């Protein structure tokens, strides 16, 4: 099996009093209040905060012009005092700026990058171009501004502040995982939002998934669209090259017209799992849900089917 060859690059752990930068590389936060409260939350945690110049710009569904959103991202990357960059929200727009990012500066000064959903495109591009480990986790203007779930909060902060392997990524006790297949598979964790994973296929920003543990989730997609995206990954050779597949939560993925013949999202995911020749973990606590695990994209992990456990085997930060 082809293996992921790029060596992962760990960012330094986030320390007290260091600066966290806030950006809007996709859509605009719905209110200034969310930004203000996110800033207060981070300051209460002991960090200083720098807010991007264009975070509240508006250009339809985009947070301003592509050039200005990219300018904010690059300003945070190039600012050596900024040690972590948190997205305020997802939405749409990150894929439009991938060619404008200063990957060389990021390679020379690795820092913590946090977000999920549309941020998947930026995180996978960063891994492809620099090998940087990034964090598919809570966003400042979504979870942090209004009281994060304690499970989400503890897991997230431990992941980016402790330079040790996180070990088992455990679902809550009342939300057990399901498994298909057998074995104990090691590989690099890659993936994120399924729509963005699929949209990067065939571009220079798509990483090699060979031998990886692919983790995916999605939200507000009709089951037939989820089906089509998995078919695309199969036709592109990705599903046949991964070492294992982890299916997170597919939230509000319902038919656009339930009165017409359809498959449910559970039926689609079950069909995907049955078609895989490698181990599959289902119902993983990751996605557009309040109580979520943070996934460090680019770290090595092991999926042990007999124990129903996905465990991180190396530190995500240095």
- pLDDT tens digits along 63-86: 999 999 999 999 999 999 999 999
- pLDDT tens digits along 101-151: 999 999 999 999 999 999 999 999 999 999 999 999 999 999 999 999 999
CATH code assigned at 66: 3.40.50.10740
Q: Give the contacts of 308 (CB within 8 A, at least 6 positions apart).
A: 176, 177, 179, 281
For residue 157, what pLDDT is reported?
99
Q: Which of 190, 185, 193, 199 is nearest to 236 (CA)?
A: 199
Question: Is 215 in the same domain as 117?
Answer: no
For residue 3, what pLDDT is reported?
40
Residue 115 lies in a domain: yes
CATH code assigned at 237: 3.50.30.60
* Contact yes or no for 28/63 (Cβ under 8 A): yes
**For a pLDDT cut of 90, what percent of the chain falls above it?**
97
Question: Is 177 in the same domain as 152?
Answer: no
Report the alpha-carbon distance of residue 82 to residue 36 in Å, rounded: 19
For residue 6, what pLDDT is reported?
55
| C-alpha dist (Å) from residue 58 to 25, 36, 68 | 12, 18, 11
Domain final position from 117, 134, 161: 161
Domain final position from 126, 141, 161: 161
**Where do we find the tokens 């981070």?**
42
**Full domain range(s) for residue 200:** 167-312
Question: Is 86 in the same domain as 103?
Answer: yes
Region 33-53: mean pLDDT is 99
Residue 4 has pLDDT above 90, yes or no: no
CA 217, distance to chain mean position in Å, is 9
Residue 280 has pLDDT above 90, yes or no: yes
The pairing of beta strand 82-87 with beta strand 19-23: parallel
Question: Is 204 in the same domain as 235?
Answer: yes
Residue 77 lies in a domain: yes
Question: For residue 1, what pLDDT band results from cuts at 50, 70 and 90?
Answer: very low
Residue 8 lies in a domain: no
Domain final position from 118, 137, 161: 161
Question: Is 80 in the same domain as 151?
Answer: yes
Q: Considering its fold, how many domains does the chain have in total?
A: 2
Question: Is 152 in the same domain as 184?
Answer: no
Question: Is 45 in the same domain as 136?
Answer: yes
Which one of the listed residues 27, 54, 217, 241 is annotated catalytic? 217
- pLDDT tens digits along 83-97: 999 999 999 999 999
Residue 3 lies in a domain: no
Catalytic, 241? Answer no
For residue 59, what pLDDT is reported?
98
Question: Is 202 in the same domain as 255?
Answer: yes
Tokens linked to 219: 């939200």
Residue 183 lies in a domain: yes
Tokens linked to 150: 């304690």
**Higher pLDDT, residue 48 or 7:** 48
pTM of the predicted model as reported, rounded to 2 decimal places: 0.97
- pLDDT tens digits along 174-206: 999 999 999 999 999 999 999 999 999 999 999
Question: Is 133 in the same domain as 181?
Answer: no
Residue 302 lies in a domain: yes
Question: Is 210 in the same domain as 139?
Answer: no
For residue 5, what pLDDT is reported?
44
* Contact yes or no for 103/126 (Cβ under 8 A): yes
Question: Is 117 in the same domain as 246?
Answer: no
Residue 13 has pLDDT above 50, yes or no: yes
Catalytic, 99? Answer no
Q: What is the mean pLDDT of the chain?
A: 97
The pairing of beta strand 309-312 with beta strand 300-304: antiparallel
- pLDDT tens digits along 203-250: 999 999 999 999 999 999 999 999 999 999 999 999 999 999 999 999
Which one of the listed residues 8, 24, 117, 195 is annotated catalytic? 117
Catalytic, 288? Answer yes
């Amino acid at each position: 099996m082809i293996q992921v060859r790029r060596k992962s690059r760990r960012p330094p752990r986030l320390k007290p009093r260091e600066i966290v930068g806030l950006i809007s590389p996709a859509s605009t936060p719905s209110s200034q209040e969310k930004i203000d409260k996110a800033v207060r939350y981070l300051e209460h945690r002991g960090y200083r905060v720098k807010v991007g110049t264009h975070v509240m710009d508006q250009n339809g569904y985009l947070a301003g012009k592509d050039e200005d959103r990219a300018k904010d991202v690059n300003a945070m990357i190039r600012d050596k005092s900024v040690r972590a960059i948190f997205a305020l929200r997802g939405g749409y727009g990150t894929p439009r700026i991938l060619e404008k990012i200063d990957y060389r500066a990021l390679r020379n000064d690795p820092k913590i990058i946090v977000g999920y959903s549309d941020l998947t495109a930026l995180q996978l591009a960063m891994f492809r171009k620099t090998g940087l480990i990034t964090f598919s986790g809570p966003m400042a203007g979504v979870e942090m501004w209004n009281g994060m779930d304690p499970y989400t909060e503890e897991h997230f902060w431990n992941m980016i502040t402790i330079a040790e392997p996180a070990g088992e990524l455990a679902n809550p006790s009342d939300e057990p995982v399901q498994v298909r297949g057998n074995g104990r598979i090691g590989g690099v964790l890659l993936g994120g939002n399924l729509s963005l994973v699929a949209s990067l296929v065939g571009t220079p920003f798509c990483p090699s998934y060979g031998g990886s543990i692919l983790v995916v989730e999605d939200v507000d997609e009709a089951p037939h669209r989820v089906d089509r995206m998995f078919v695309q990954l199969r036709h592109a050779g990705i599903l046949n090259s991964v070492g294992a597949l982890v299916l997170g939560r597919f939230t509000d993925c319902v038919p656009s017209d339930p009165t017409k013949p359809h498959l449910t999202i559970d039926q689609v995911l079950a069909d995907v799992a049955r078609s895989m020749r490698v181990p599959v973990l289902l119902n993983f606590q990751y996605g557009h849900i309040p109580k979520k695990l943070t996934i460090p994209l680019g770290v090595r992990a092991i999926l042990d089917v007999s124990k129903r456990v996905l465990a991180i085997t190396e530190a995500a930060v240095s």
